[in-house]
Structure 1
Amino acid sequence: MVNTSQIREHMEVIGADGVHIGTVDGIEGERIKLTRKDSGQGSHKGHHHYVPLGLIAEVEANAVRLSANADVAVTMEEEENRKNTIS
């Protein structure tokens, strides 16, 4: 299990493939809260998305690396009401 106390605001969240997914705004419960600026487009734009802590592979110096590639990880993002962003 990853030590979540190492995760800090403004760290980059990247997929296993090194692709940028978002920027840490904080941790809420069992999820990383991403900043609004990384919220996507359309109906997903302008509000926070969340990544389950279970996807974290490791915490590096300035980044949180996930165990899934970016294209898969974004399908697992949740919105504030805990719904997945992709249907």
Structure 2
Amino acid sequence: MKCNKCGTVNKSTATHCKKCHIRFIRQSDKIARKVILSPRIAMVCGCFLLILGAILLSNDIDAFATVTCITGAALLAIGVLSS
């Protein structure tokens, strides 16, 4: 990998330039940051699914309501623990 700042050739697995010590940002790093689930989105979706599950339970749709509530609780927990 060639450094954009100083032109030094580094190993392909390097995270920093060995000469100027600038950090390399790969395309895969940028894509990975976009894919990560935001804690706020997880909490909002979790709350929405819990409300939907409660509505389904009140209408006697037990099987789907249970799955919806469990998924909502899991998303809410992920959001709370990630923030």
TM-score (norm 2): 0.19
- Relative to its length, the structure with more strand (as a share) is 1
RCO (CA 8 Å, sep 6+): is it higher in 1 or 2? 1
